[in-house]
Amino acid sequence: MVFSPVTLAFLILGVILLSGLRVAQEYQRGVVFRLGRFTSIRGPGLFWIIPLGIERAVIIDIRVSTVSAEQQETITRDSVTIKVNAVLWYRIVDAARSVIAVRDAPGAVYQLALTSLRNIIGQHDLDEVLQERDKINSLLKEGIYDSTAQWGIEVERFEMKDVELPEAMQQVMAMQAEAIREKRARIIKAEAELEASHKLSAAAAQMAENPAALELRRMQMLSEIGSENNSTTILMIPSDFVTLSKSLSDYLREKSPGG
């Protein structure tokens, strides 16, 4: 089959025009350059660029990306060597700037995150790193937010995942935790004894004002002792009875004929 020159020219022109078609997914944007200069952002969907190298489209993914930072060995402010893992979540909000302002946006963000992680950990003591993780995470995000914003990238979260301590430090912390628990137990016991002493003091004062209550309490105690099996009961004679018995004995002695 032989085509006429005109038909052949149209076919070639059609192929050239079709070669300029591009498709960007819903989560993609096309950054278009014309003869090396930025012109526009295309997509999502079907779009067309001038072929034959006149226009070039760079497809950018604008979804949230997750990067797991490799374990970093760093030194805290109080000179403790620890190993830290972190996770970074970011997304591209300005596709054009992410291509024009930085050569490799994902790689640049990753390296910036590692540097920030080491710097922030080095500015805090070990106790702060372990106990104030929300504060540290907030500082990690703030530490890279301004730089990434210049690249058209928004950092959503940057958080520590794991903190690995030296074995010797783990033993020291275990001993410290045990000492703290023992201290708390002793404080609770002392507070209970103090409260009991106040209650006993109040009960003694009330019984002193009402001797009959004291005698009832003694009788109740004898009843409780007697209910126990294999127990020896010792009778507590009230001091008033002893005094009365002694006075009666002295009186009878004085009245006796031999007295």
Asked if 81 and 135 sit in the same domain, the reply is: yes
Asked if 57 and 72 sit in the same domain, the reply is: no
SS3 (DSSP) at 84 = strand
Asked if 30 and 112 sit in the same domain, the reply is: no
The strand pairing partners of 160, in sequence order, are: 86
- For the record, the structure tokens of 9 come out as 């020219």
- For the record, the structure tokens of 160 come out as 């520590």
**Does a structural domain hold residue 47?**
yes
**Does a structural domain hold residue 210?**
no
Asked if 113 and 162 sit in the same domain, the reply is: yes
The angle at the Cα of 194, spanning 192 to 195, to the nearest 5 degrees, equals: 65
**Does a structural domain hold residue 120?**
yes
The angle at the Cα of 26, spanning 90 to 65, to the nearest 5 degrees, equals: 15
Residue range 6-36, pLDDT digits in tens: 888 888 888 888 989 999 999 999 999 999 9
**In the prediction, which pLDDT does 101 show?**
93
**In the prediction, which pLDDT does 245 show?**
55
Can you tell me the distance from the alpha carbon of 127 to that of 80, in angstroms, rounded to the nearest whole number? 10
Can you tell me the distance from the alpha carbon of 144 to that of 132, in angstroms, rounded to the nearest whole number? 19
- Picking from 61, 73, 110, the residue whose alpha carbon sits closest to that of residue 89 is 110
Splitting the chain (259 residues) into consecutive groups of 10 residues, what average pLDDT does each group show? 77 88 94 94 92 92 91 87 92 94 92 91 88 90 91 93 78 74 85 82 71 64 62 56 59 61
Question: Which of residues 61, 94, 116 is at a domain's end?
Answer: 61
Asked if 78 and 141 sit in the same domain, the reply is: yes
**In the prediction, which pLDDT does 244 show?**
53
What contacts 48, CB < 8 A, 6 or more positions away? 20, 21, 22
**In the prediction, which pLDDT does 198 show?**
81
Can you tell me the distance from the alpha carbon of 4 to that of 143, in angstroms, rounded to the nearest whole number? 67
DSSP state at residue 165:
P
**Does a structural domain hold residue 182?**
no
For position 144, which CATH number holds? 3.30.479.30
**Does a structural domain hold residue 124?**
yes
**In the prediction, which pLDDT does 156 show?**
92
Asked if 25 and 108 sit in the same domain, the reply is: no
**In the prediction, which pLDDT does 88 show?**
94
What contacts 112, CB < 8 A, 6 or more positions away? 144, 147, 148
Asked if 28 and 116 sit in the same domain, the reply is: no
Question: If residue 34 lies in a helix (H) or strand (E), which one and from where to where?
Answer: strand 28-34
Instruction: Give the domain range for residue 43.
Output: 15-61
Work out how many domains the chain is built from and give that number: 2
Asked if 54 and 138 sit in the same domain, the reply is: no
Asked if 79 and 134 sit in the same domain, the reply is: yes
Question: Which of residues 147, 169, 191 is at a domain's end?
Answer: 169
Asked if 102 and 164 sit in the same domain, the reply is: yes
**Does a structural domain hold residue 23?**
yes
Tally Cβ neighbours within 10 Å of residue 163: 16
Can you tell me the distance from the alpha carbon of 131 to that of 126, in angstroms, rounded to the nearest whole number? 9
Can you tell me the distance from the alpha carbon of 56 to that of 131, in angstroms, rounded to the nearest whole number? 51
Question: Which of residues 150, 169, 188 is at a domain's end?
Answer: 169
**In the prediction, which pLDDT does 154 show?**
94
DSSP string, 187-252: HHHHHHHHHHHHHHHHHHHHHHH-HHHHHHHHHHHHHHHHTSTT--------HHHHHHHHHHHHHH
**Does a structural domain hold residue 247?**
no
**Does a structural domain hold residue 39?**
yes
Dihedral (C-alpha) 147, 150, 153, 157: value to the nearest 10 degrees? 30
Asked if 137 and 48 sit in the same domain, the reply is: no
Asked if 31 and 82 sit in the same domain, the reply is: no
**In the prediction, which pLDDT does 71 show?**
86
